[in-house]
Copies of this chain bind each other. A is one copy, B any other.
Amino acid sequence: MQQRVDFITLGVPDLDAARRFYVDGLGWKPTLDIPGEITFIQVGHGQLFGIWGIENLADDVGAGPFPGGPPPLAFAHNVGSDEEVVELLARAERAGATILKPGQRAAFGGFHGYFADPSGFRWEIAHNPGWSVDADGVVSLGLVEG
């Protein structure tokens, strides 16, 4: 199994609310958009981010329902400065997100904050001076002194 994620599919309790946040609120352009059914948005080289009803996802997995509560994971989106972290958190809040952690110094030595999308999925917005991506897409991750 190669080190590759092709789809990241969220199972959401309110499909319309999730779609409004990502498509209308953040302005992300869908690759495939069937409102009320499913929406796929490209979020990386060859990678799609899916928004699907939690019951549809549970049926597809075939392993019973998902209990409630925020899922134990976070997506992260990196930006180039502390100011952009603050701006993006405000942008997300205007689009309907809940701020969980306002922009602040991070344990990794950079600056970050978190929001929850309307379904409860958590996103970190970070300025991480130790993170870089070369021309081939390979990530380097240096630890920065806090």
Contacting residues, chain B, for A46 (C-beta < 8 A): 44-45, 133, 137, 139
Most chain B CB atoms below 10 A, which of A10, A62, A71: A71
Residue contact A74 to B57, C-beta cutoff 8 Å: yes
- A15 CB within 8 Å of chain B: no
- A72 CB within 8 Å of chain B: yes
Q: Which one, B12, B66, B77, contacts A69 given CB within 8 A?
A: B66
**A97 to B: closest C-beta gap in Å:** 10
Residue contact B71 to A66, C-beta cutoff 8 Å: yes
- A26 CB within 8 Å of chain B: yes
- A145 CB within 8 Å of chain B: no
Q: Which one, B11, B88, B137, B140, contacts A73 given CB within 8 A?
A: B11
Residue contact A62 to B5, C-beta cutoff 8 Å: no
Q: Quick one: closest B residue to A41, CB to CB? A: B3
**A136 to B: closest C-beta gap in Å:** 8
* A69–B67 alpha-carbon span in the complex (Å): 6
Q: List 12 A-B contacts (CB under 8 A).
A: A3-B29, A3-B49, A5-B8, A5-B44, A8-B73, A9-B124, A40-B139, A46-B139, A47-B139, A60-B74, A63-B70, A71-B73
